[in-house]
Amino acid sequence: MGFREKLVVILLIALLALIPSRASAQTVMGISKKLICQCGCTLVLANCTHSECGSREAMTALIRDKISQGWSEEEIIQFFVAQYGEQVLASPPKRGFNLMAWITPFAVILAGAGVIYLAIKKWTKRGRQAQIVGAPESEEEEEKYRQQLEEELKKFAERSFR
C-alpha cells in the first residue's frame, strides 16, 4: 500500500469519526427545540439568549451526556419531564387534559366561522324580503303608479315654466 492509499484510508476514518458528532449535534439541537429553558426566560432552550444563563448550559450538557450514554430522544425528554415537570416541554403533550390546548383553537375558529356564516345568511335573507315588500303586487297596480307619476311630473313641469 502506497503513501496515497494510506492517506486516503486515514482521511476516510477521520471523516467517519466526524459523522456521529454531527448527528449528536443535530439531536442536541432537536431536543433543545422541544424543551423550555429553566432560567425563567420562558424561551425554547435552543433559543435562550441570556448571556449568563447557567440553566441553558447545564441542560445542554446533560442532553449531550445522555446522548453519549445511548439514550433515545424520547427518554431524554421524559427525563427532563420527571425532573422539572411538564412545564419544561415547549408544547403540551397531545393527551389527556392537555389535548384541549390543541383542540380549542380549531374549535373556536370553526365556531366563529359558523357564526359569520349564519349572520351573512340572515342579512342576505333580510335584504331579499325588503325587495319583495317594496315591489308592486300586480301589473294593474304598477300601471296605476306609472300614471300617477306622469301626472305629478306634468304638474311639476307646468309650475316650473310659469
Most distant pair of Cα atoms in the chain: their distance: 125
Q: pLDDT, tens digit, for every residue of 25-56?
A: 568 888 988 998 888 788 888 888 877 778 88
Proportion of the chain above pLDDT 90, given as a percent: 22
Q: What is the pLDDT of residue 45?
A: 86
Report how far residue 162's alpha carbon sits from residue 157's, in angstroms, rounded to the nearest whole number. Answer: 9
- Indicate the pTM of the whole model: 0.49
Res. 94: pLDDT tops 80: no
Rounded Cα–Cα distance for residues 13 and 17 (Å)? 6
Interval 58-83 mean pLDDT: 90
CB atoms within 10 A of CB 154: 10
| pLDDT for the residue 7 | 77
